[in-house]
Amino acid sequence: MNMKERVIKVLDELNLDAVLVSDGYNMRYISGFTGATGYLYVSRNRSVILTDFRYTIQANNQSQGFEVIEIGKGGYTAAINDLLDADQTKRLGFEDDHLLYANYSSLNEKLHKEEMVPVKDALTKLRIVKTADELEKIKMAEHIGDIAFTKILEVIKPGMTELEVAAYLEFFMKTNGAEGLSFDSIVASGVNSSMPHATPSNKKIELGDFVTMDFGCLYQGYCSDMTRTIVVGKASPEQKEVYNTVLKAQLAAMEVIRAGVIGKDVDKVARDLIDSTKYKGCFGHGLGHSVGLFIHEEPRFSAGENNAILAGVTETVEPGIYIKDFGGVRIEDLVVVTENGFENFTHSEKQLIEL
Ligand SMILES: [Mn+2]
Ligand 1 midpoint to CA 175 (Å): 22
Ligand 1 midpoint to CA 226 (Å): 6
DSSP state of 42: E
Average pLDDT score over the chain: 98
* Each residue's pLDDT tens digit, 52-82: 999 999 999 999 999 999 999 999 999 999 9
Count of alpha carbons within 13 angstroms of residue 36, beta-carbon side: 9
Ligand 1 midpoint to CA 34 (Å): 23
Ligand 1 midpoint to CA 4 (Å): 31
H runs (alpha helix) in 129-177: 132-152, 162-174
Could you give the percent of the chain with pLDDT greater than 70?
Answer: 100
Let me know: does 41 contact 83? Beta carbons within 8 Å. Answer: yes
Residue burial 205-231, b: 16+ Cβ < 10 Å; e: rest: beeebbbbbbbbbbbebbbbbbbbbbb
Ligand 1 midpoint to CA 354 (Å): 23
Whether the per-residue pLDDT at 136 is higher than 90: the answer is yes
* Each residue's pLDDT tens digit, 156-168: 999 999 999 999 9
Ligand 1 midpoint to CA 345 (Å): 13
* Each residue's pLDDT tens digit, 282-295: 999 999 999 999 99
* Each residue's pLDDT tens digit, 188-220: 999 999 999 999 999 999 999 999 999 999 999
Nearest to 321 by CA among 229, 226, 214: 229
Let me know: does 231 contact 352? Beta carbons within 8 Å. Answer: yes
Count of alpha carbons within 13 angstroms of residue 245, beta-carbon side: 23
Taking residues 117-136, report their average pLDDT: 98
Ligand 1 midpoint to CA 227 (Å): 8
CA–CA separation, 252 vs 286, rounded Å? 15
Ligand 1 midpoint to CA 289 (Å): 7
Ligand 1 midpoint to CA 225 (Å): 5
> 261 falls in which pLDDT band (50, 70, 90)?
very high
Ligand 1 midpoint to CA 2 (Å): 30
Ligand 1 midpoint to CA 96 (Å): 25
**Cα 51 to chain center, whole Å?**
25
Ligand 1 midpoint to CA 316 (Å): 6
Count of alpha carbons within 13 angstroms of residue 262, beta-carbon side: 9
Could you give the percent of the chain with pLDDT greater than 90?
Answer: 99
Q: What pLDDT is stored for residue 328 in this prediction?
A: 98
> 243 falls in which pLDDT band (50, 70, 90)?
very high
- pTM here? 0.96
CA–CA separation, 75 vs 22, rounded Å? 15
CA–CA separation, 181 vs 64, rounded Å? 28
Residues in contact with 142: Cβ distance below 8 Å, sequence separation at least 6, in sequence order: 224, 225, 226, 334, 345, 346
Whether the per-residue pLDDT at 147 is higher than 90: the answer is yes
Q: What pLDDT is stored for residue 36 in this prediction?
A: 86
Taking residues 334-354, report their average pLDDT: 98
Ligand 1 midpoint to CA 16 (Å): 35
Count of alpha carbons within 13 angstroms of residue 50, beta-carbon side: 23
- C-beta atoms surrounding 121 within 10 Å: 16
Ligand 1 midpoint to CA 42 (Å): 33
Ligand 1 midpoint to CA 65 (Å): 35
Q: What pLDDT is stored for residue 327 in this prediction?
A: 98
Taking residues 209-232, report their average pLDDT: 98
Q: How far apart are the first and last CA of the chain?
A: 51
Number of H helices, E strands in the chain: 9, 19
Let me know: does 290 contact 128? Beta carbons within 8 Å. Answer: yes
